[in-house]
Amino acid sequence: MASDGDSFSFPTDIPSIIVPPLNQTVPQGTRVELTCTVFGGPPADVNWVFRSEDGAEELITVDTPGTQMGIMGNEVVLTHTLVLLDIPLSRAGQYECVANNILGNDTAQASVTVFGETTLPEREAVFFDTCISMQWSQCSC
């Protein structure tokens, strides 16, 4: 219990995203992790918004709270990670981390580019607008 001489001040800062999610380019079918680190107090609720390449928007709710909690003074630092398993081509687009508390909000975006299987020409490659014809042979060293 605090004595009359002790005082405690409640944190009163709007959330601030101090480490935004990073842009990523990944092959389809892989795991993608988007991380957003938020500073502020009272602790922020974090949600994610997905905007597809065709403009459709979807709110993604994450059931787990932020992890790696730290305290800096009276402020709380939480890292939130959105995990996308087996990402399909249709999930390429913008992902926005939205941090809210009773005092305000902050947002940060990352672009996720998803590419499918690609095939290279069998015997032709283009470098700097120059076509080079190649023949593949096995070396006997």
The pLDDT tens digits for 9-65 are 555 789 999 999 999 999 999 999 999 999 988 888 899 999 998 999 999 977 665
Residue 3 lies in a domain: no
Is position 29 within any domain? yes
7 domain-assigned: no
The answer to whether 44 and 29 are in contact (CB under 8 A) is: no
Percentage of the chain lying above the pLDDT 70 cut:
68
What's residue 64's pLDDT? 63
Domain that holds residue 54: 13-133
The answer to whether position 36 is within a domain reads yes
Residue 140 lies in a domain: no
- What is the C-alpha to C-alpha distance for residues 23 and 112, in angstroms, rounded to an integer? 6
The verdict on residue 52 lying in a domain is yes
Report the CATH number that the domain containing residue 40 is assigned in CATH.
2.60.40.10
Cα–Cα distance between 14 and 100 in angstroms, integer? Answer: 8
- Average pLDDT taken over every residue of the chain: 79
pLDDT at 118 over 70: no
**Residue 66 located in a structural domain:** yes
Indicate whether 4 belongs to any domain: no
Closest CA to 20 of 96, 105, 103: 96
Counted domains in the chain: 1
Q: Which residue has the higher pLDDT, 75 or 123?
A: 75
